[in-house]
Amino acid sequence: MIRARAVPGKGAPREPAPWLDDSAGRVVRPYTASGGRTRPAVALDLLSSVTATGARPRAPLGAEHTAALRLCAGAAAVTVAEVAGQLRLPAAVAKVLLSDLVEAGAVTASAPRFPGGGGPYAAADDQTLLQAVLDGLRRRL
Amino acid sequence: MAYAADCDTRGPAATAAARPVTLKILVAGGFGAGKTTLVGAVSEIPPLCTEELLSGIGADADPLDGVDTKTSTTVALDFGRITLDTGHVLYLFGTPGQERFWFLWEELSAGALGAVVLADTRRLADCFPAVDFFERRGIVFVVAVNEFDGGHRYTAGEVREAVGLAPGVPVVHCDARLTGSATAVLAELVHHLLSTAAPAVPAQPTDRGEPT
Ligand SMILES: Nc1nc2c(ncn2[C@@H]2O[C@H](COP(=O)(O)OP(=O)(O)OP(=O)(O)O)[C@@H](O)[C@H]2O)c(=O)[nH]1
Ligand SMILES: [Mg+2]
């Protein structure tokens, strides 16, 4: 068996998938929670951490916003991906909710501290960092 | 709740300076290759299924009119976390590797340390797109052969040849259900990163090179 090289991709297919198979998940109607919006005003990474400030937003919050805010109010920092997973909402929708909460002053978000600033390969030559990760993993073995 | 089990006692006021470094490893593979199982085996939080919208939302153009009535399909992202020490938290994202999900991988691979490609020997070809993706972007990866009961046992060499891997790419066998085995795969990746991180080596290309 020889690997068939995929066609040279110009990045990614941006079209909605014309066909679905077992790897595609549920069909959702997720936008009601975010009032139809799918683009957050505040840029959030899946690994941005979100923390409740304790300030109460002036306008009353809807159920989804309230649920998202509650998840941000725990003792430990929580990531956008965790909030989305807990709320069972697509990440794009969770980002809109969290972005609203940031704008309302109820939540602060901090971008992930990727080693070297987030570009690819940034950490690939950071021997000290990699050794720390390796040691950490080996302690768990 | 998941993070209630977290013994991190920092309050919300923990300073940004004290925030740990965010490390990210991607777990790719075909349908049923064991991605969810592997992430669950190593994660300290119950593995979460986070979903992304398949229609490429979050990329550019998407008319906002009437979207609240539109349905969309999602793709699952397995999400797990390992707190290595106070300064280092490792996050895992697992998602299918098919080409039509590559727009997702673009975002996910930003800042990632490297990747694990799970290969199910019953359907070895399913891992080809993931291998292609990481090769093209110069993302360091290891191939973890997940040996299912009843699956044909290939040697690492046979897998290497079938997938057409570059000589340096490690091929390891694993049982994704076992924490030790799955953790060892991650350690193998980081070890491989370390061994390829010779200080004198010129920086790898940062553009998305065409396949050679
Ligand atoms: N024998 C054996 N079974 C495994 C192993 N890893 C996973 N399985 C089983 O294989 C099945 C599929 O594993 P999943 O982890 O759901 O695979 P996946 O890649 O997440 O699948 P999709 O998300 O559906 O693409 C499950 O029933 C697992 O229990 C393994 O290493 N050995
Ligand atoms: Mg899965």
B197/A6 touch (CB, cutoff 8 Å), yes or no: no
Q: What is the pLDDT of residues A72-119, one digit of tens each?
A: 999 888 999 999 999 998 898 899 999 999 999 999 999 998 886 555
A76/B6 touch (CB, cutoff 8 Å), yes or no: yes
pLDDT of residue B47: 86
Q: Is residue B161 part of a domain?
A: yes
- From the list B67, B96, B163, the residue facing A31 with the nearest CB is B67
Q: Which residue's structure tokens are 């795969």?
A: B185
pLDDT of residue A25: 58
Question: What share of chain B in percent tops pLDDT 70?
Answer: 75
CA–CA dist B51, B90 (Å, integer): 20
pLDDT of residue A23: 57
If we measure between CA atoms, which residue out of B120, B117, B116 comes closest to residue B153?
A: B120
Q: Is residue B207 part of a domain?
A: no
Which 3 state secondary structure label does DSSP give B22? strand
Model confidence band, residue B166 (pLDDT cutoffs 50, 70, 90): very high
Positive or negative, the CA dihedral A84, A88, A90, A92 is negative
Q: What is the pLDDT of residues B100-140, one digit of tens each?
A: 888 888 889 999 999 999 999 889 999 999 999 999 999 99
The yes/no answer to whether this complex scores an ipTM above 0.90 is no
B:89-148 residues touching chain A, CB 8 A cutoff: 90-91, 93, 96, 98-114, 124-125, 128-129, 131-132, 136-140
Phi, psi of B67 (to 5 degrees): -65, -20
Among B27, B37, B143, name the best residue to mutate to test ligand 1's pocket (greatest count of ligand atoms within 8 A of Cβ): B37
B163/A113 touch (CB, cutoff 8 Å), yes or no: no
Q: Is residue B162 part of a domain?
A: yes
pLDDT of residue B104: 86
Distance from CA of A4 to the nearest CA of B (A): 8
Q: Is residue B212 part of a domain?
A: no
pLDDT of residue A2: 56
CATH of the domain at B186: 3.40.50.300
Residue A115 forms contact with B (CB below 8 Å):
yes
Q: Is residue B5 part of a domain?
A: no
Region A31-50 average pLDDT: 81
* Region class of B142: left (phi > 0), else alpha (psi between -120 and 50), else beta: beta
Q: What token pair was written down for A102?
A: 């940031």
Ligand 1 mean position to B179 CA, how many Å? 14
Model confidence band, residue A22 (pLDDT cutoffs 50, 70, 90): low
Q: Is residue B209 part of a domain?
A: no
- Least confident range from A8-17, A46-55, B18-27, B140-149: namely A8-17
Number of domains in chain B: 1
Distance from CA of B69 to the nearest CA of A (A): 7
pLDDT of residue B197: 75
DSSP result, B49-79: EEEEETT-TTSS----TTGGG--EEEEEEEE
Which 3 state secondary structure label does DSSP give A140? coil
Chain B hits for A27, Cβ within 8 Å = 71-74
pLDDT higher than threshold 90 for residue B200:
no
Region A124-139 average pLDDT: 88
Q: Is residue B202 part of a domain?
A: no
Model confidence band, residue A59 (pLDDT cutoffs 50, 70, 90): confident
Cα B196 from chain centroid?
A: 19
Closest protein CA for atom 12 of ligand 1: B32
CA–CA dist B204, B139 (Å, integer): 10
Name residues contacting ligand 1 (CB within 6 A): A 23; B 29, 31-37, 96, 146, 148-149, 175-177
pLDDT of residue A110: 94
Q: What is the pLDDT of residues B49-104, one digit of tens each?
A: 888 887 644 433 344 443 444 567 778 899 999 999 999 999 999 988 888 888 88
What is the residue-averaged pLDDT of chain A? 79
